[in-house]
Chains A and B, each alone.
Chain A
């Protein structure tokens, strides 16, 4: 059974149909790339999946359970990890404390008033940081990290709830090419080892064709193609959208 099953997802902003009847599914251990030109509806799609935006139409099933319209914190509780296009971490905490904060929430230890927080789940946090190669920087302030390291920290935070689904919005944006490959190889390995379904958006086509098992192409809110790298490369409509024949998209 697929981890995530989306059907007929739709959302408008004013007169603009940002996402229009999008359906797809992601299986455990699978990496699905969501691509498309700017304004195709990728981010809106993402924000509906983790509950930041409430969809107008359609249903989102996580492991068979309907999560449509739940707020982000409930979606997270059900096993969805997320990284953001522009990294969002806690600047007043150290790298380890960032992960500890997520673990505190996951283990429902937030409403504790007495014992210092640094004693909670430190080993577990270090293990997660180890996975993304950030353990050595555990004591550094998150606010002073290089951008690539911030992205890896976000990944460790996103793994703290032992997710079945990982949503990564432009995971390599702002990174150097070598870092991009390394980060996505890491995501690939984690998906395989833990059986996590990974859905990601990405502008770098090398990354997309390099790691994705399957690719979903959006244009103007609709799915225009779906398939593996070979099929997508050969798809005439995708070429038109990206290369701008003008025939289908009005010239990008």
Chain B
């Protein structure tokens, strides 16, 4: 019994921390409709700034409280700067581009923090009062955790007062429900959005600095925190503060008890809860369907057969690719093989998120399943390479078909978040199932068959498989199925009214995209000779997203161009210092100035002066 009480209290303390971050995220989303990936970075900045402030102040409780508030205010100011410098310019961009831009900020902040505070974890020297305990149910419970438990409801109460009792709160609630109407009533949105963003950032900073006594400021907390915060916000319902509180309680308790009772599968459990909630309540526990943004209807590009010039260019590239083994050395060939894998990986994501309208934040899951299927076939079953390369797309396609059944009924941000959740589940299973997957160490020695051992042969095999599969996907987009898929994206209402079973069509597209990504994973596994959990990590999913958006999501050639450009850029940056900062800045500039991507911009140039 005592155990239950203490764990429950620990859970409440965890819930408070979760709520602080999630509250900021949900308030920002509610008003600006921006899913702020950089929210975890603000939390991290809060922790670092808090460390810098608190280590310079006297160590008694009053100074501590003052330092905490100061750190939160400083983070709020940084948030305001971020809003004015970047987000303000992209409110009208598609939500995926916004998400991507904020991810660019994540990368930049990581390197900025590395530059300013160094690579080491920073912990707070704890004065006696911070180390104090109270007796609870016969056990010693940290005093600071009790304080934390109080902070969550306190902040909820203050936010509630702000929303219910002030003019600013009325505006904020009105903007959450219908921001066009608020603008039409003459409210200055520019200021409102900046203040809201600063408020959200301040809450994230508060969460960050309050995490110091129990933890540390380090360079990993941004992504850890943002994943948890997404789960809480999505489970609670995006834009809903009470929902976020409820979900924080749920997830906090789940983590507190899970870590003791089922340590291996806690992460899986958390995402499973999220999946179940979304299946039964597609807008979260207390969320409402988003008001449709008016006047946002964009004219979508027609899909037309490639013009002759583009065909010739494609053929030239193909001929060059075929001739590569004649002049390229082993290193260049291995880079080219990686590029081919990246092309198929991006093309498969583009297939579902462009024409299918299903943006995924967890596409690496299918890539990883394919890679692990091939590796396990080689190791556990001693199967020959062709069997492994066949198993890879089959396993990934089957898994995507299974998870897709839950996913395709959602749309927009919720769909993206559920794909992220499933990818995290797959990642957690692979990471923790040591006996089969080797855990963190991965599986080594996945080498190609003897006949394909020569890098030149394997490169040609990769060209045939990845290039062929990408061409097939392209072919399908021009075929009736591709039209039906676009129909379900363009107008679900009309699609249903002409007899199309949108659910089945989307599921088939999802499974097909998964299978193609799985094949890419399989080819990659044999090319590298090993598989690791990082293949499934969020960062790898983002790689594919960046490649697709860099190329241009509205064009069929986009993912190919994007994957080639991104791989080349990535390889070039990786050897330089502060490459994350450069990559992040590159992504941000891309979203700001080339929202249609390289292929999109090229298409626009080409079409200039020609009749539509």
Contact = CB atoms under 8 A, between A and B. Distances in A.
A199 interface: no
Contacts of A93: 302-303, 483, 486-487, 490
A110 B480 contact: yes
B499 A113 contact: no
Contacts of A90: 486-487, 490-491, 494-495
Interface string A92-118: 111001001110111001111111111
A102 B480 contact: no
B300 A91 contact: yes
A89 B299 contact: no
B131 interface: no
Interface stretch (A11-19, A68-76, A200-208, A237-245): A68-76
B471 to A, nearest CB: 12
A120 interface: yes
A141 B612 contact: yes
A113 B478 CA distance: 8
B482 interface: yes
A144 interface: yes
Contact of B493 (A88, A101, A118): A88
Contacts of B303: 92-93
B501 A73 contact: yes
Interface in A128-174: 140-141, 143-144, 157, 160-161
Interface residues of B, number: 32
A26 B491 CA distance: 29
A141 B486 contact: no
Max chain B CB contacts within 10 Å: which of A92, A104, A116? A92
Contact of B483 (A77, A104, A144): A104
A92 B497 contact: no
Nearest to A157: B498
A44 interface: no
Contacts of B301: 92
A53 to B, nearest CB: 13
B449 to A, nearest CB: 30
A153 B431 CA distance: 54
Contacts of A76: 497-499
B475 interface: yes
Nearest to B472: A113
A12 to B, nearest CB: 20
Interface in B486-521: 486-487, 489-491, 493-501, 505
A92 B481 contact: no
Interface string B291-310: 00000010111110100000
Contact of A50 (B297, B484, B497): B497
A12 B500 CA distance: 28
A76 B495 CA distance: 11
A84 interface: yes
Contact of A101 (B476, B479, B498): B498
A112 B481 contact: yes
A59 interface: no
Contacts of A94: 302
A84 B480 CA distance: 24
B476 A102 contact: no
A82 interface: yes
Given A73-B500, A105-B498, A117 B299 contact: no
Given A50-B497, A94-B302, A144-B612, A113 B479 contact: yes
Contacts of A113: 475-476, 479, 481
A84 B495 CA distance: 12
B502 to A, nearest CB: 8
A91 B297 contact: yes
Given A92-B300, A116-B305, A97 B497 contact: no
A179 B149 CA distance: 66
A117 B478 contact: yes
A60 B475 CA distance: 42
Contacts of A97: 483
Given A91-B299, A92-B300, A101 B483 contact: yes
B482 A117 contact: yes
B478 A161 contact: no
B394 to A, nearest CB: 17
Contacts of A77: 499
A111 B512 CA distance: 13
B480 A72 contact: no
Given A112-B480, A117-B478, A88 B486 contact: no
Interface in B122-178: none
A72 B493 CA distance: 9
A92 B298 CA distance: 10
A71 B500 CA distance: 11
Contacts of A100: 483
B496 A73 contact: yes
Given A73-B501, A141-B302, A88 B483 contact: no
Contacts of A88: 491, 493-494, 497
Contacts of A143: 299-300
Max chain A CB contacts within 10 Å: which of B303, B305, B475, B497? B497
A71 B496 contact: yes
Nearest to B494: A88
Contact of B499 (A73, A91, A111): A73
A127 B31 CA distance: 48
Nearest to B492: A88
Contacts of A111: 480-481
Contacts of A160: 498
A114 B473 CA distance: 10
A141 B493 CA distance: 19
Contacts of B491: 88-91
Max chain B CB contacts within 10 Å: which of A82, A101, A102? A101
A84 B612 contact: no
B490 A91 contact: yes
B355 to A, nearest CB: 8
Contacts of A89: 490-491, 494
A120 B482 CA distance: 13
A174 to B, nearest CB: 15
Contacts of B299: 91, 141, 143-144
Contacts of B481: 110-113
A114 to B, nearest CB: 6
A76 to B, nearest CB: 4
Contacts of A92: 300-303, 486, 489-490
A118 B480 CA distance: 8
A204 B483 CA distance: 36
Contacts of B494: 84, 88-90, 157
Given A73-B496, A116-B479, A117-B479, A105 B484 contact: yes
Interface in A24-81: 50, 71-74, 76-77
8 contacts: A73-B498, A76-B499, A84-B493, A92-B486, A110-B500, A112-B481, A117-B479, A161-B498
In the A-B complex, the 6 residue pairs with the closest CB atoms: A92-B300, A88-B494, A143-B299, A90-B490, A112-B480, A102-B498
Interface of B: 297, 299-303, 305, 475-476, 478-484, 486-487, 489-491, 493-501, 505, 612
Interface of A: 50, 71-74, 76-77, 82, 84, 88-94, 97, 100-102, 104-106, 109-118, 120, 140-141, 143-144, 157, 160-161
Given A73-B501, A105-B500, A110-B480, 14 more contacts: A84-B494, A84-B497, A88-B493, A90-B494, A91-B300, A93-B302, A93-B303, A102-B498, A105-B484, A112-B479, A113-B475, A114-B479, A118-B478, A161-B498
